Amino acid sequence: MELQETESATERLLEHSWEGRERRASDRELVIDAIAAALFGAVASLLVIGGSLAGLRLAMLALLIGVYALVGRVEFPVGVGYVVPTQLILMPMLLILPPAVVPAAVGAGLVIGNAVDWAFGRVPPRRVLSAVPDAWHAVGPAAVLLAAGAPRIGFDQLPLLGLAFAAGCLVDLVSSVARMRLAGVGPEVKLQLRVIGMVWAVDACLAPLGFVAGIAARQHGFAILFVLPLVLLLWLVARDRNHRIEKAHHRLKLVEQERVRLQSAVRRLGDAFAAKLELEGLLEILLHGSIEALDAAAGRLELGGAPSPLRLSVGVEGWLDELAGGSRASRAADGPVQVGQAGLWRLTVPMHIAASPRPIAGSLWLVRAGRAFEEDEVALIGELIGKAELAAAEIIAHELIREQAMTDALTGLGNRRRLTEDLTSAFRRGRDAGPSVLLLFDLDGFKNYNDTFGHLAGDELLARLGARLRRAVDGVGRAYRLGGD
């Protein structure tokens, strides 16, 4: 159970740090790396100056540094860093070179390898600087061997070599934790220890192979090249693993985007429940839902024949400008129209609402970059618009029926039901909405007028009076007809 939790934690750390591996280093990180590099340079120089260089062969030194530069470029991502199989060449260095030279040789190998990659544009320049303090792990083994008198390492000296390996792990732990803590970029110490423990496990597996290679290279210098096939194999495995992680991370991002879109769809469903019989609310849900369903960058919806023209827009202003350029060209289309230009794709879908007294026409425009709208996506939006058209027609019909129920058919004024509703709203608002005034009018002698000139003349009189009352209160109130006159 603990192993599963550890793997889960380290995998999450790798996942969260993947995008930031190629980010630009902060000034604080650069300063910490520069200080750590300067300290390492000072320690390595003191070891070279104060230690014995007896038995140093420059050709062998150059060969080992070159092989180390190759090995140092094999990187297996783990946690926020990498596992590098350097024990394959660090052990031969400890067996063949004077211990005082080993830290400087390791630093040179790491710098050369990263400098070559930087020259080819594979790594940022910051990696060249950070390569120097990455060599701190070589100081521990060199110090242990120097303290032991720099003996010739053989099978009888394995305990001493094991102590040197442990010292290297300890120095690597202290240096890496200190750098990350000071730079403020590392994970919590407990999780970082788990990751470093995995690195130590890999080093412990490779150290015996490096020891055997060092014994062979001590007799025949070029025997060290026999580690290169294994290095090549590890490089191929590392490259494949990096590609797989990159693809998995990309798929994870897509899953996260789909998760966000699903959550948005659920929220739109809640909006649909709340919209009830509001036309504008329904159309807002249609627009937002279409953008999210097709992963569009922006959208616009217009209805030109509604009781009041409606225009809704969602998206960044630049994308909306792209919509404005293409909407006029495809406004009269009878079906979905898609236009692609310079990597931008615009989709136009017409709307037709069977409303009374006349149908309402409009269009929905969507735009996105990088890829065209697929046939199934266009069909999905067409189905969504079809359902929205039916719902909008029902809303308009309901509004018409409600308006008829609240309006006097002869004068066009509000009827008793409308007055009751408006009075209820005014009382509900109370004094916060300010004072309200209710004026009542009565037509004296209207019955005699109606009997004398006929009902048609009476109806005409009421209609004209209603129009004058409506104009008198337009913008400040509402007029009503309560009774027969």
Residue 232 pLDDT:
93
Q: How far apart are the first and last CA of the chain?
A: 87
Give burial (CB, 10 Å; 0-12/13-18/19+) of 151: exposed
Q: What are the angstrom distances between the C-alpha of 155 and each of 158, 211, 216, 329, 398?
A: 5, 9, 13, 84, 94
**Ordered domains of the chain (ranges, CATH):** 2-253 (no CATH), 276-405 (3.30.450.40), 416-473 (no CATH)
| Contact present, 107 and 48 (Cβ < 8 Å) | no
The length of the chain, given as a count of residues: 485
Distance CA 462, CA 410 (A): 8
Residue type, 139: V
**Which amino acid, 260?**
V
Q: Quick one: pLDDT at residue 4?
A: 36
Please identify every stretch of the chain with a pLDDT value under 50, giving residue numbers as ranges.
1-7, 273, 328-329, 332
Cα gap 274→388, rounded to integer Å: 15
Q: CA 279, CA 300: separation in Å to the nearest integer?
A: 16
Q: Give the count of beta carbons closer than 10 Å to the beta carbon of residue 311.
A: 11
Task: Give the count of beta carbons closer than 10 Å to the beta carbon of residue 167.
Answer: 19
Q: Which amino acid is at 228?
A: L
As a whole number of angstroms, the distance between CA 456 and CA 205 comes to 108
CA 36 – CA 110 distance, rounded (Å)? 15
Q: Which residues does 442 contact at the CB level (< 8 Å), separation at least 6?
A: 485
pLDDT of res. 91? 93
Q: CA 81 to CA 76: how far, in whole Å?
A: 8
What is the model's pLDDT at position 1? Answer: 29
C-alpha distance from residue 434 to each of 367, 430, 480 (Å): 47, 8, 21
401: β partners: none
Are the beta carbons of 363 and 301 closer than 8 angstroms?
Answer: yes
Q: What are phi and psi of 413, to 5 degrees?
A: -85, 165
pLDDT value at residue 7: 44
C-alpha 286: how far from its chain's center?
25
Given this model, what pLDDT does residue 12 score? Answer: 62
Q: Is the dihedral of CA 312, 318, 324, 330 positive or negative?
A: negative
Give the Cα separation of 29 and 190 in Å (integer): 21
User: Is the pTM of the predicted complex or chain greater than 0.85?
Assistant: no
With b for 16 or more beta-carbon neighbours within 10 A and e for fewer, the 118-138 pattern comes to: beeeebbebbbbbbbbbbbbb
- The closest alpha carbon to 206, from 185, 187, 233, belongs to 233
Residue 264: partners with Cβ closer than 8 Å, 6 or more residues away: 288, 292
Identify the DSSP state of 149: T
User: Directed axis angle between helix 228-275 and helix 2-17, to 10°?
Assistant: 80
| CA-to-CA dists, residue 182 to 27, 175, 227, angstroms | 12, 11, 37
